[in-house]
A and B are shown apart, each in its own frame.
Chain A
């Protein structure tokens, strides 16, 4: 007997460090997910597709994250949205009355303000890593501690050292000074957690109307000591959602489902079984001089992005593409 395939939406969060995949059913249930290191967008998407369960019928695809446009062109996505929106939608899916989302990633950090399930304000920091995961990684490396053990070790601290320095580099230097002065490692790590939260709040939460329920997500939320430091700074409990690292992908899937395409432009799981190349060129057909990127399979263009007027894009409702790239 042929088993009926489950209808699901696929979401991808294509970050600089990691790529996350999520499959959401029509009822909003998460039925599979993948979290892998980004070693090249196309190769990593292929890898992720191979890992996902195949007994699904993909009804819609959404991409988010820094590589969302390339990912969308490659995989065939019905919608692409910024991480801001995807993370907000993802978090609201689990905690519908959330009012503030603190999102701390590896190299950037964000704050999202929600009222009545609507995103009303946001802040982003992409210029200073004193409030991001890179700071923790730096310190862990300099103190010779595996990053996964950071949180648990820091929670053992009997007192919190004061770590000065608003940035990841000088903060780390401060840690080394303390270590050389004989301060216990746990106390230093506890101090770093506090310092990171203070930097983050100063950089991104300035002037924002912060109200509970508080959600904490992003890679840094996996560090229990940082969660504790945030709760202390806010004098309030903070919720770390169960699927915090993949919330962006979940949000992208939900947004794709909302778009409700008549027929998804998803190219199929089979996409993962072929080899691809990318080719870029500058179009001189007008004064915009767009840099166009074509994705090529067996010498044939299967996707294109980067042209402002869209002349090189492949329209999947038609059988032939509008333009072919110049000879390279």
Chain B
């Protein structure tokens, strides 16, 4: 029986993951985009206090299994992550109890995943895998560029929602590309697509700048954070967000200097030892955004996230020191979108007025 490989969703990581696995020679099943249905499924089979990323990734796995996937690749087993490193084990046990038949591979990085896959499929040539790395990396960087361009464009868009539509189209183009040559053309096309968005004449100095901090999954997955980046952008806010798939891969290869810098040179003034997860990173980013004169910070966390609870404890001090207001939001399957919208709207109004008064 032919194996069908899948992985739970996390933002736009699926594009590169699909490209890698397909080019190695697997049949890949990309799960349906995370939706209320995914959330419901995940919450149904999870302990109540399991965090939101656990529930959403479990729901995503179930949706893939329902569509015929036979191998699931899940991130985990890695030192430095939060308790996410154990999730794959519990998810595997849960899914098998429900009755699904599949194999689960826990991967702390792509090399790990490929090694494990190779053990079961000796036909995979490592040589072939190495050859496609530049192509996959090009896709990863293209996705990162699309996210950055979207953040830069939204505050200026004349018609709300246009940037998001362009982003959707651009991501589709990246996914469609099958060769490095095609990717080069796509990269040029992406720039044109975003340039075409009708813009309002605004003074860049008047644009509010907000830094996003928090737990990686909830920051990357738009469903988890109720599309906060789009909402902020459509209110005229320039969002800065530094977590990306590219960044994660660099971290795996011990090449993420920005992350190292924050961990060893910035965060220790408040938190010398990490409790796991993104605690030091959130604290460090808050300090850096404060120093850069950003207008506000938003901390995004799953409800009950211990590392982000720790980071949040330092925010009032950092906020006061750099005179930068912050808004802490926590998300789970019971979060009311209206309540989140209300807070975001009030926060943006508040920092806008503060900026105007400063002038």
Residues of chain A whose beta carbon lies under 8 Å from any beta carbon of chain B: 81-85, 117-122, 124, 126-127, 207, 209, 286-288, 308-310
Contact = CB atoms under 8 A, between A and B. Distances in A.
23 contacts: A82-B345, A82-B349, A84-B349, A85-B353, A117-B357, A118-B357, A119-B350, A119-B353, A119-B354, A120-B354, A122-B347, A124-B339, A124-B343, A124-B346, A126-B339, A126-B342, A127-B339, A207-B316, A209-B320, A286-B161, A287-B168, A309-B159, A310-B160
A81 B345 CA distance: 8
Contacts of B325: 120-121
A124 B159 contact: no
Contacts, number: 52
B155 to A, nearest CB: 16
A242 B53 CA distance: 48
Interface string B335-348: 01001001101110
A82 B160 contact: no
Interface string B298-319: 0000000000000000001001
B195 interface: no
Given A81-B349, A84-B350, A85-B350, A310 B342 contact: no
Interface of B: 159-162, 165, 168, 234, 316, 319-320, 325, 336, 339, 342-343, 345-347, 349-350, 353-354, 357
A6 to B, nearest CB: 27
B161 A288 contact: yes
Nearest to A81: B349
Given A82-B342, A85-B346, A286-B165, A118 B353 contact: yes
A207 B319 CA distance: 12
B324 to A, nearest CB: 10
Nearest to B354: A118
A68 to B, nearest CB: 10
A5 B266 CA distance: 61
A209 B349 contact: no
Max chain A C-beta neighbours (<10 A), residue from B160, B162, B234? B160
A81 B346 CA distance: 8
A309 B343 contact: no
Contacts of B350: 84-85, 119-120, 122
A85 B159 CA distance: 25
Given A84-B349, A85-B350, A308-B234, 9 more contacts: A82-B345, A82-B346, A118-B353, A118-B357, A119-B354, A121-B325, A124-B342, A126-B339, A127-B339
Contacts of A121: 319, 325
A286 B325 CA distance: 36
A308 B357 contact: no
Contacts of A85: 346, 349-350, 353
A207 B350 CA distance: 19
Contacts of A82: 342, 345-346, 349
Contacts of B234: 308
Contacts of A122: 346-347, 350
A84 B346 contact: yes
Contacts of B162: 309
Contacts of A117: 357
A119 to B, nearest CB: 5
Max chain A C-beta neighbours (<10 A), residue from B316, B336, B350? B350
Contacts of A120: 325, 350, 354
B138 to A, nearest CB: 27
A286 B234 CA distance: 17
A146 B160 CA distance: 49
Nearest to A88: B350
Contacts of A310: 159-160
A121 B346 CA distance: 10
Contacts of B339: 124, 126-127
Nearest to A117: B357
A309 B160 contact: yes
B161 A308 contact: yes
Nearest to B168: A287
A207 B325 CA distance: 13
A300 B353 CA distance: 38
A120 B320 CA distance: 10
Nearest to B326: A121
Contacts of A286: 161, 165
Nearest to A110: B346
A101 to B, nearest CB: 13
B316 A209 contact: yes
Nearest to B349: A85
B296 to A, nearest CB: 10
A120 B345 CA distance: 14
Contacts of A127: 339
A287 B316 CA distance: 40
Contacts of B165: 286
Closest 3 CB pairs of A and B: A84-B346, A82-B346, A85-B349
A127 B350 CA distance: 22
Contacts of B347: 122
Nearest to B157: A309
Contacts of B346: 82-85, 122, 124
B160 A308 contact: yes
A124 B340 CA distance: 11
Nearest to A122: B346
A168 B302 CA distance: 27
A288 B162 CA distance: 11
